[in-house]
Amino acid sequence: MQFTAQQIGTLLEGRIEGNPDVTVGNLAKIEEGKKGDLSFLSNPKYEHFIYNTDASIVIVNEDLQLMQDTKPTLTIIRVKNAYAAFSTILNMYNEFRLDKSGREEPCFIHPEATIGTGGYIGAFAYIGKGAKIGDHVKIYPQVFIGDKVSIDDNTTLYPGVKIYHDCKIGKNVVVHSGVVIGSDGFGFAPQEDGTYKKVPQIGYVQIEDNVEIGANTVIDRATMGATIVRDGVKLDNLIQIAHNVDIGKNTVIAAQTGISGSSKIGERVVLGGQVGVVGHIVVAKGSQIQAQSGVNRSIKDEGKKWGGTPVMPYQPQLRSNVIFARLPELEKRIQELEKLIELKLK
């Protein structure tokens, strides 16, 4: 689709400098912009690109002072916050690009499933008995939705998502390809002969509203009760969330993190990549945990930074890293001191 500078300026409540009738149909980085492209500039480090870009329109902060003339073909739109404004444009562009509706065949929908209005069901999707699908839900090809699963309005399931029976998904949830929700928790009882007997996992997974789940993440169903991912949580790719875990509102978790069973993660927690959390502990709200840390005990102090394995307060952990890097040097000095002592004792 094509948009004029005037239309974009009106949407963003911006001030236009240049041709208000110039049109754009693509989005591009400022250094790669071509005729017909819309770009933005918010970081001063990239200001030099605006003087040579071939983009037709660039969104900038209203207080940007240009040090030289731009190309006469460039139209500038000044807004309060260029980054936020361009994010608005990106969201609109994505909505247009991903706007799908209707039903593709072949797909299987059980006669006892309930399907809302205005949605999309892609080819080879499976919707089981008693499933309840809300309005404007997008179900991409090869999605599996088990029996009695409920999915609320405006949720999107990308290709290959698998949702086991009885799980509950809220409104405005985005689930990326390869995600498995409701697989069995890791429950096995050791036997006298050294074997393991499976403990049935009869709970479910509850995903609340406004959650985004990255590709190939797995969220296990509870042994009993629910594994819960609460409002506003953002999960990266390749995350493992075990049975009966409870993740608090607006928590952010980076890739390859694993959270063991029955642990409770507070609100607004940030877990870096490859963090490991043991089972049956609590992480206080507002905690920030450095990548590759191992959380082996409960964190009770709210709003603090942590790092290392086992986890410790962040600043002492940084100092420990400095000492650790010097261990070979310190070992050598100790050996030299031991030799001096031996000589003196002789």
Mean of pLDDT values over 294-301: 97
Helix (H) or strand (E) holding 331: helix 327-345
More confident position, 324 or 136: 136
Does 346 score more than 80 pLDDT? no
β-pairing verdict for 75-79 and 15-17: antiparallel
For the chain, the helix, strand and coil percentages under 3-state DSSP, each to the nearest 5 = 20, 30, 50
Look at the block and give the residue holding tokens 């709003």: 303
pLDDT digits (tens, 9 = 90+) for 150-173: 999 999 999 999 999 999 999 999
Residue 32 phi, psi dihedral angles, 5° rounding: -115, 5
pLDDT higher than 80, residue 27: yes
CB-facing half-sphere around the CA of 76: CA atoms within 13 A: 20
Cα dihedral 91→97→100→106 (10° resolution): -130
Per annotation, catalytic residue among 110, 165, 243, 280: 243
Round the CA-based radius of gyration of the chain to a whole number and report it: 27
Distances (CA, A) of 17 to 45, 158, 175, 307, 312: 22, 40, 40, 49, 53
Largest Cα span, the chain: 94
DSSP-derived letter for residue 55 is -
pTM given for the model: 0.85
Is 243 considered catalytic here?
A: yes
Region 24-29: what's the mean pLDDT?
Answer: 93
In the prediction, which pLDDT does 321 show?
A: 85
Q: Which are the contacts of 339, defined by CB distance < 8 A and separation ≥ 6?
A: none
Share of the chain above pLDDT 70, in %: 100
**Of 64, 66, 57, residue with least CA distance to 86:** 57
Mean pLDDT within 279-287 = 98
Instruction: Give 277's contacts (C-beta < 8 A, 6+ positions apart).
Output: 257, 258, 259, 260, 263, 265, 271, 283, 295
Q: What is the pLDDT of residue 100?
A: 87
Q: 331's torsion region: left (phi>0), alpha (psi -120 to 50) or beta? A: alpha
Contact 248, 267 (CB under 8 A): yes
Question: Per-residue pLDDT averaged across 115-132, rounded?
Answer: 97
